[in-house]
Amino acid sequence: MSAGVAARPAWGRAPLLVAVILLAWGLAIAAELTGEVQWVHHHRLVVDGMAVWASLALFLVAWQVHVAAMMLPTTLPMVSLYRRVAAGQAHPRLARLSFLSGYLAVWTAFGLVALVAMALLEGLSAHWHWLHHRPEWLAGGTLVLAGAFQFSALKARCLDKCRAPRAFLLNHYRQGLAGGLALGVRHGAYCLGCCWALMLVMFAVGIANLAWMAPLAALMLYEKVGRHGQRLVGPVGGALILLGLLVMAGPAWLPNLVPAHGLH
């Protein structure tokens, strides 16, 4: 059975997870509509007027919302299969929780690394006059990087793993809480290998930017579970590279695509 076919009933087999995904999208949309987007838009190591620990906590909450909205839909086929396979364990619910904890831990670690990297780039920009007045080069460079990664062997390998959840479980499934955690971390690592560059784009344009958030989430979902998802990888890579070059060449052509505050 193909990954695309297997994915269709997954939504009905994980109602709680689907509710979490819908809630995350609801929060993102509500923040946009009410003008309170700063609470989920945060991508700085230190927010003005806030202690470091409070700023970091705010980021972690906002990042979990975005991971839930953008990445959890792509892992529903795996969660659905794991739920069925782990049903015979002594503590199946705890095993599923361990699996999801491992998966989220990988994406949380990536978010923290990206946050620190963004802070370092902002610090470099502040001391480099040329770069400080050309933030579009950072945004455009991120888009070019994301586009180039679409053609990488690592992307192809990880995407193959994510599109074959049955084979993945057959090769790596272990019972128990530790087994579920390890499986979640491994699955999260492959998921990260597929999508880290696309998610990095959100740091450049603003992680609560719905104009980017929705199409990127749809793209990552279709790449993994769509019947012809692999055919989309190359054209999207080319489009991102072209878009990144256009942003670097003349950001005034695309005034709403890469907000100026995305990198400040």
Average pLDDT on 195-224 reads: 88
Residue 236 has a pLDDT of 95
Confidence band, pLDDT 50/70/90 cuts, at residue 7: very low
Average pLDDT on 103-114 reads: 94
More confident residue, 92 or 3: 92
176-208, pLDDT tens digit by residue? Answer: 899 999 999 999 999 999 999 999 988 877 777
Q: What percent of the chain has pLDDT over 90?
A: 44
57-79, pLDDT tens digit by residue? Answer: 888 888 898 899 999 999 999 99
**In this model, does residue 35 exceed pLDDT 90?**
no
**In this model, does residue 264 exceed pLDDT 50?**
no
Confidence band, pLDDT 50/70/90 cuts, at residue 27: confident
Confidence band, pLDDT 50/70/90 cuts, at residue 8: very low
More confident residue, 45 or 204: 204
Residue 259 has a pLDDT of 53
Residue 262 has a pLDDT of 42
Write out the chain in H/E/C secondary structure.
CCHHHHHCCHHHHCHHHHHHHHHHHHHHHHHHHHCCCHHHHCCCCCCCCCCHHHHHHHHHHHHHHHHHHHCHHHHHHHHHHHHHHHHHCCCHHHHHHHHHHHHHHHHHHHHHHHHHHHHHHHHHHHHCHHHHCCCHHHHHHHHHHHHHHCCCHHHHHHHHHHCCHHHHHHHHCCCHHHHHHHHHHHHHHHHHHHHHHHHHHHHHHCCCCHHHHHHHHHHHHHHHHCCCHHHHHHHHHHHHHHHHHHHHHCHHHCCCCCCHHHHC
Residue 3 has a pLDDT of 41
**In this model, does residue 1 exceed pLDDT 50?**
no
Winning range, highest mean pLDDT, from 13-22, 28-37, 135-144, 230-239: 230-239
Residue 6 has a pLDDT of 41
Average pLDDT, the chain: 83
Residue 261 has a pLDDT of 44
Residue 97 has a pLDDT of 93
Look up the domain containing 7 and give its range.
3-263
**In this model, does residue 125 exceed pLDDT 90?**
no
**In this model, does residue 166 exceed pLDDT 70?**
yes
Total tally of structural domains belonging to the chain: 1
